[in-house]
Amino acid sequence: MAGVWIMNFIRTLFLMLCMGAALAQPVARPFTDAARGPAPIMETTKPPVLGNAINDDVRRTRNYTWQPPTIPHRVDGYQVDKNFNKCMDCHSRTKAEVSQAVPVSVTHYMDRDGHMLGQVSTRRYFCMQCHVSQDAVRPLVNNTFMDVDALILKSMRSQSGAQATQKN
């Protein structure tokens, strides 16, 4: 009789420990991504309001050889779809002289095999896949990038400083 009582006691104790362990588990929180903020991944969020794009028509210096130029004017509301490309109203090779816009590069008229086409290649047709407008905002992260000209100048200065030190 005492053996049955001990077995029931152990079984009850074991069940209570299991329930306690289950209750002690942290509550599962929905998966989030820090870039999206506190909203769970599966939740639709309202996108942030677009800033006031720079609209000064000043051409920016490129940081590397094949960097696509940035767009120096507002493009919100531009229709660029399979039926029409608003960018080509000013940047097509036939209209650039009148609009004084930078004409589309000849590379945009080549197919993937390097053959010249009579119109902009379909793989280069959607301009804002590569070209972006600029916002006057503070950078999210510090940037220590130096283009090749700045690196050469820095190297020349350090060499001339080292030579001046050797002469003294």
Query: In this structure, what DSSP letter does residue 42 have?
Result: T
**CA–centroid distance for 14 within its chain:** 54
Q: Is 115 annotated as a binding residue?
A: no
> Which residues make Cβ contacts (< 8 Å) with residue 72, sequence separation at least 6?
54, 55, 56, 57, 58, 59, 60, 133, 134
Contact yes or no for 69/61 (Cβ under 8 A): no
- Judged on CB neighbours under 10 Å (0-12, 13-18, 19+), 71 is buried
Q: Is 127 annotated as a binding residue?
A: yes
Q: Is 18 annotated as a binding residue?
A: no
Query: In this structure, what DSSP letter does residue 51 have?
Result: -
Residue ranges at the known binding site: 73, 87, 90-91, 108, 127, 130-131
- Binding positions for heme c: 73, 87, 90-91, 108, 127, 130-131
